Amino acid sequence: MASHGFWSLGGENAGANTGSQSPSTPRAWCQAAAQKLSGGIGSKLCALLNVGEGEKPAEPAAMQPPQTAAGSCGCNKSCTCTKGTDVGFSDLYSTDLLPAMDGDTKTMTFLQEVVDILMAYIVESFDRETKVIDFHYPNELLQLNNWELQDEPATLDDILISCRATLKYAIKTAHPRYFNQLSTGLDMVGLAADWLTSTANTNMFTYEVAPVFVLLEYVTLKKMREIIGWADGRGDGIFSPGGAISNMYAMLLARFKMFPEVKEKGMSSVPKLVAFTSEHSHFSIKKGAAALGIGTESVICIKADECGKLIPADLERRILEAKHKGAWGGSLLMSRRHRWKLDGVERANSVTWNPHKMMSVPLQCSALLVREEGLMQSCNQMHACYLFQQDKQYDLSYDTGDKALQCGRHVDIFKLWLMWRAKGTIGFEAQIDKCLELSEYLYNKIKDREGYQMVFDGKPQHTNVCFWYLPPGIRYMEDKEEKKKRLHKVAPVIKARMMEYGTTMVSYQPQGDKVNFFRMVISNPAATFEDIDFLIEEIERLGHDL
């Protein structure tokens, strides 16, 4: 492997070590972790994350498990756990693992090693002392490791090194100060469920190959429809690969509902269609219109008010608003305090609800809920006889595959179901209420603070808080055009510096005639009031000189 000190503990990107707000070095993190965790776990974690082939840890003393008579597993000499069993990964290849003869022990030892790496990464990710990101430019990152694919197999040792390298440069999406996207945070039950899903490695198209998962999808979709407010939870639905595809499914169904002949005869058989949506709606509506042959020019954007909301002048607009909000606000339905913001959603014919956003279900988990039963099947079915045999021994309504455009469909349900089970409905409610509380806190904190300006008037109804930070040098400028021009460059520079330092991440964007502003979306369940304070201080620290 790499001979360029790839795994050095201190060193590169030393810039991260300036200022009291910036994270400490990995070495210091190791020492802290070793003290914090009992039974030498901290030291072990640290060794797992940082020690690569041919490289000795910088402070061997700190890496030693506390026992003097330690075995290779880090437990006592005579321990029988599989960790550190005498398996030398440098002589082993993937072909030595199951289904190889007598591959059981080697397999378990290998998987345990991977899990140990993952656990160390998880614990580190939640620690505010670590960086959110160890940023490198693409060309730089390409050089930092040999990522190329070879004809010859690599040893399992190399595979473990690749796993560590991948995590070293990954974004710590679980970090309490990672605010960059709606899908932030890492739920431990959701993660466990996702590991189980990977292990079960099956497909959602028929009950035959995924009996439990199909039932759990059935149970969960029904519950979601009840929450939307459809009588007895009746209706239909499906989990799909992301909100954009869910939205496209909804458009497909709407078109089919009005013009069923479009399925066989195509768009030339129907009048010219248009779609109404908010001018602030998600771009997936336009993508869907392009794909479906409606054309983006036939997407009519309805004006939104200063707060970014459609004016609910009439029922039709309210339905449109609910659909628009449905692109990521579905989770508000879980909150008794906030669900009024989606009043009327039960009158929609379909709702896209993305539990991988505010509900923090691991990626991906998006549902399309449909009021009319049977419509999805009629719209999308092609009766592939090799998958959906009609002479099977069980109730065929559980073969959901023909409702989708997809053939194979990933199991996205288990992580949501298991998390729901673990939290209960009230647990999700508490999580969502907390996100809204945090965004209100942020809003209250900056609305009158010097150097800040809100993009929209009034208290945000959701967890988006959009604001400008005006560094002192810009704050008092008189030339409005020049001020705007300079302000436009502030957010990108602060964001780039955040990534260099790796301390936090938050998104920015321009919109219409509004120059680049920060677009804070709070959905990270690990975030606290202190993390919001930190964000403000960090923006000021990094933007003060601009």
Site residues for a copy of itself, 78-137, by CB under 8 A, read 78-83, 85, 93-95, 97-99, 103-105, 107-108, 110-112, 114-115, 117-119, 121-123, 126, 133, 135-137
Residues 336-355 that bind a copy of itself (CB under 8 A): none
- Residues 132 and 175 sit within 8 Å (Cβ to Cβ): yes
- 264 sits near a copy of itself (criterion: CB under 8 A): yes
- 15 sits near a copy of itself (criterion: CB under 8 A): no
- 267 sits near a copy of itself (criterion: CB under 8 A): yes
3-state SS, residue 523: coil
Residues 55-74 that bind a copy of itself (CB under 8 A): 65-67, 73-74
Structure token pair of residue 439:
């965004």
Locate all alpha helices (DSSP H) within 313-365, ordered by sequence.
Answer: 315-325
- 301 sits near a copy of itself (criterion: CB under 8 A): no
- 244 sits near a copy of itself (criterion: CB under 8 A): yes
User: Which of 229, 233, 242, 344 touches a copy of itself (CB under 8 A)?
Assistant: 242
Residues 21-40 that bind a copy of itself (CB under 8 A): 36-40
Q: What is the dihedral of CA 528, 531, 535, 538, to 10 degrees?
A: 170
User: Which of 258, 311, 315, 407 touches a copy of itself (CB under 8 A)?
Assistant: 407
Give whichever of 263 and 447 is closer to a copy of itself, judged by the CB atom.
263
User: Which of 3, 18, 68, 393 touches a copy of itself (CB under 8 A)?
Assistant: 393
Main-chain dihedrals φ then ψ at residue 72, nearest 5 degrees: -65, -20
- 260 sits near a copy of itself (criterion: CB under 8 A): no
CB of 314 to a copy of itself, least distance (A): 27
- 312 sits near a copy of itself (criterion: CB under 8 A): no
User: Which of 5, 15, 293, 472 touches a copy of itself (CB under 8 A)?
Assistant: 293
Please state, in angstroms and rounded to a whole number, the distance separating the CA atoms of residues 456 and 497. Answer: 26
**Where are the strands (E) in 316-459, listed by range?**
350-353, 366-370, 452-454
Place of tokens 């055009």: 481
Residues 491-520 that bind a copy of itself (CB under 8 A): 492, 495-496, 499, 505, 507-511, 516, 519
Q: Give the angle 39-41-44 at the CA atoms, nearest 5°.
A: 130
Locate all alpha helices (DSSP H) within 147-187, ordered by sequence.
Answer: 156-168
Give whichever of 278 and 516 is closer to a copy of itself, judged by the CB atom.
516
Residues 145-204 that bind a copy of itself (CB under 8 A): 147-154, 156, 158-159, 162-163, 165-167, 169-171, 173-174, 176, 180-181, 183, 185-189, 191-196, 198-203
Give the residue from 235, 414, 242, 435 showing the smallest Cα distance to 335.
Answer: 435
Contacts of 191 (CB under 8 A, 6+ apart): 122, 362, 415
CB of 53 to a copy of itself, least distance (A): 15
Binding flags for a copy of itself, 203-232, as an x/- string (CB under 8 A): x---xxxxxxxxxx--xx--x---------
CB of 213 to a copy of itself, least distance (A): 8
Give whichever of 193 and 318 is closer to a copy of itself, judged by the CB atom.
193
3-state SS, residue 215: helix
- 395 sits near a copy of itself (criterion: CB under 8 A): yes
**Phi/psi class of residue 205: alpha, beta or left (left: φ > 0; alpha: ψ in -120 to 50)?**
alpha
Q: Are strands 507-511 and 350-353 parallel, antiparallel or unpaired?
A: unpaired
CB of 49 to a copy of itself, least distance (A): 13
CB of 191 to a copy of itself, least distance (A): 6
CB of 178 to a copy of itself, least distance (A): 9
State the DSSP string of 429-474: HHHHHHHHHHHHHHHHHHTTSTTEEESSSS--SSSEEEEEE--HHH
Structure token pair of residue 381:
């079915």
Amino acid at the residue 69: A
CB of 451 to a copy of itself, least distance (A): 21
Give whichever of 137 and 476 is closer to a copy of itself, judged by the CB atom.
137
Give the residue from 73, 52, 64 showing the smallest Cα distance to 9.
Answer: 52
Locate all alpha helices (DSSP H) within 37-78, ordered by sequence.
Answer: 41-50, 60-63
CB of 303 to a copy of itself, least distance (A): 18
CB of 403 to a copy of itself, least distance (A): 11
Count of residues interacting with a copy of itself (CB under 8 A): 190
- 319 sits near a copy of itself (criterion: CB under 8 A): no
CB of 259 to a copy of itself, least distance (A): 10
- Residues 415 and 366 sit within 8 Å (Cβ to Cβ): no
Q: Mark 347-382 as b/e (b = at least 16 C-beta within 10 Å).
A: ebbbbbbbbbbbbbbbbbbbbbbbbeeebbeebbee
Give the residue from 155, 13, 10 showing the smallest Cα distance to 89.
Answer: 155
Please state, in angstroms and rounded to a whole number, the distance separating the CA atoms of residues 344 and 313. Answer: 13
Residues 454-483 that bind a copy of itself (CB under 8 A): none
Residues 412-441 that bind a copy of itself (CB under 8 A): 414, 417-427
